[in-house]
Amino acid sequence: MTEIRRITLGSGDPKRLFAGGLHGDEWKYTSWILESLDAPGVGTLVVIPKLTDQDYVSTLEERYYEGYGSNLVAAIDEIRPLIYLELHSYHNFDELTDVRRIDKVGVPAYVELEDGVLIGSISPILRRRCFSNHDLCISFEIPVADQRSKSQRLVKKFLEFTKDCTSRDEFLDFLLTRYPDQGMRAVENYKRFYKI
């Protein structure tokens, strides 16, 4: 297993893990955001700004977790985060937000919050392997763009808030207050998919 760079900020509980650069060249658009975060007010934030720069393999495929994704699983098993967040970048908005995505690729569509920033759940393979239904596991997607685009600045604000959350409910309250329609769609997608 290749050693991955981790940045540990703060200490104690609750523990949070934010990961980026999970495949391909996504890290070019997301790493600076993760590296710019400060320690949370309470607890620990572990940041993996770049898991890999190897060829793209979807996190929706089991083989991802048998390859370089095994480093991610090992980090989750070691840290045992209460809050887990993935930061991705995308080229194709329509594929990720397609209402038929569940039928096409087996997972719910992402929901746009604003300025091209999408929110959704993490891969069900990873969720079932490493987390309970009570853990907060979210995925943000931002469009591929030059650094410090509007969407990158916005997602950085979301990460700044999330790094200080001490529970799943605190994040959900924020999401549903700020984005009631989009937040409710994201929550309903999650509940339907996991039959909760």
Domain that includes residue 26, residue range: 7-194
2 within some domain: no
What are the b/e assignments for 24-57, b being 16+ CB within 10 Å?
Answer: bebbebbbebbeebeebeebbbbbbbbbbeeeeb
Domain total in the chain:
1
21 within some domain: yes
1 within some domain: no
106 within some domain: yes
72 within some domain: yes
Chain-centroid distance, C-alpha 60: 14
53 within some domain: yes
Asked if residue 162 lies in contact with residue 156, where contact means CB atoms within 8 angstroms, the answer is no
pTM: 0.95
Asked if residue 110 lies in contact with residue 98, where contact means CB atoms within 8 angstroms, the answer is no
pLDDT in tens, the chain (196 residues): 567 999 999 999 999 999 999 999 999 999 999 999 999 999 999 999 999 999 999 999 999 999 989 999 999 999 999 999 999 999 999 999 999 999 999 999 999 999 999 999 999 999 999 998 789 999 999 999 766 689 999 999 999 999 999 999 999 999 999 999 999 999 998 888 887 7
